[in-house]
Amino acid sequence: MGKRGVWKLGAVVLAVAMLFAMGCAKKQEVKSGEAAGAPPAAESKAPPGGIVSESLKPEAPPAPAPGDTQVAAAEAGAAVTQERPSPFQDIHFDFDKSFIRDDAKPVLSSVADYLKKNKGARVTIEGHCDERGTSEYNMALGDRRAESARAYLASLGVPASALATVSFGEEKPLDPGHTEGAWAKNRRGHFVVK
């Protein structure tokens, strides 16, 4: 074999070696009913405080992965969680209802009288629910209760500017118990004077 022959043989050997390498490295495609897509490699994102990884198999690309997130800085918070004192009694509602009951009307009359006598005063009507049911729904129900009381006070002649409403849903139970008695107390409208 001449020099040229040796080079050609070498080229063939190299070609064989490359084919081998390609064959071994080619990833087996996966048949699956799922939308499997690529192996779990995240898109390139900076890994915040996080984890970087590389594959130990030759063909898979390294995949930076997002890691832990950071806890937010401390924020000052308004102390809305405590029951705010009131010169008025609470009014109460039926389960999943927001209509004004007869037993609420005397309390509402006294709120209306107070606001008529004290022209500059403002009252916030809080709507509350018992713990049953789900939180988002109870947030909205508490609003309906507060609004219902507001509308009744308006019908007694209280101007809109004197009233505000807020709902706390089921988040501020007055009675932490889990009985019908506790629940009845928690389904309430609460009046806070500013």
Partner 1 sequence: MMKRLAGLLLIFIAFVLAPAPASAILYIDINAPGGRRMPVALPALVVASGDQSLATSIPKVIGDDLGMTALFEILSAKSYLERIVPAHFSGRTLSFSDWKLIGAEAVVIGKVDARGDQITVELRLYDSTLGNMMAGRRYTGPTRSFRTIAHKFSNEILYAFTGVRGIFDTEIAFTATSRGGRDKGVYIVGLDGHEPRRITDNRSFNLFPRWSPDGDMLAYTSFKTGVPVIYLRNLQDGSERALVKFGNSKSPGSFTPKGEALFASVSVGGNSEIYRVRTNGSNSEKVIGGWGIQVSPSVSPDGRKIAFVSNRGGSPQVYVRDLPGGKDLRISHAGGYSTSPSWSPAGDRIAFTSQAGGKFSLYTVKPDGSDQRLLVSADGDCTDPSYSPDGRYVVYTFQKKGYSELKIISADGRWGKSLYSGLSGVGSPAWSPRR
| Count of Cβ atoms closer than 10 Å to residue 66 Cβ | 14
- Closest approach, Cβ 89 to partner 1, in A, equals 22
Residue 31 binding partner 1, by CB under 8 A: yes
Residue 160 binding partner 1, by CB under 8 A: no
Residue 189 binding partner 1, by CB under 8 A: no
Q: Which residues pair with 65 in a beta bridge?
A: 51
For residues 117 and 158, give the distance between their C-alpha atoms in angstroms, rounded to a whole number. Answer: 11
Out of 151, 155, 180, 181, the only residue in the binding site for partner 1 (CB under 8 A) is 151
For residues 186 and 169, give the distance between their C-alpha atoms in angstroms, rounded to a whole number. Answer: 10
Half-sphere exposure of 50 (CA within 13 A, CB side): 15
One-letter amino acid at 191 equals: F
- Closest approach, Cβ 41 to partner 1, in A, equals 10
Complex with partner 1: residue 31 or 119, whichever CB lies closer: 31
Out of 3, 44, 49, 91, the only residue in the binding site for partner 1 (CB under 8 A) is 49
